[in-house]
């Protein structure tokens, strides 16, 4: 069965949509991580978890 562009177009749009979603997620994550490191550099806070018996 031959595919015409009209039948393949939804697949192309779905693939493009998910590529945009993944790239947006990666860029957003990098932005948040970068901001976290900058904030930690300005006001470093050391946290530790102690277990009391």
pTM score, whole prediction: 0.64
Which runs of E-coded beta strand occur in the chain?
A: none
pLDDT per residue rounded down to tens, the chain (53 residues)? 455 555 677 889 999 999 999 999 999 999 999 999 999 888 888 778 777 76
DSSP structural state of residue 10? H
The dihedral region occupied by 38, where left means phi > 0, alpha psi between -120 and 50, and beta the remainder, is alpha
User: Residue 44 has what pLDDT?
Assistant: 83
HSE-up of residue 19 (Cα within 13 Å, Cβ side): 6
């Amino acid at each position: 069965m031959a595919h015409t562009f009209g039948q393949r177009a939804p697949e192309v749009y779905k693939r493009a949509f998910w590529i945009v979603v993944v790239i947006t997620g990666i860029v957003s994550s990098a932005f948040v991580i970068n901001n976290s490191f900058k904030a930690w550099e300005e006001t470093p806070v050391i946290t530790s978890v102690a277990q009391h018996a």
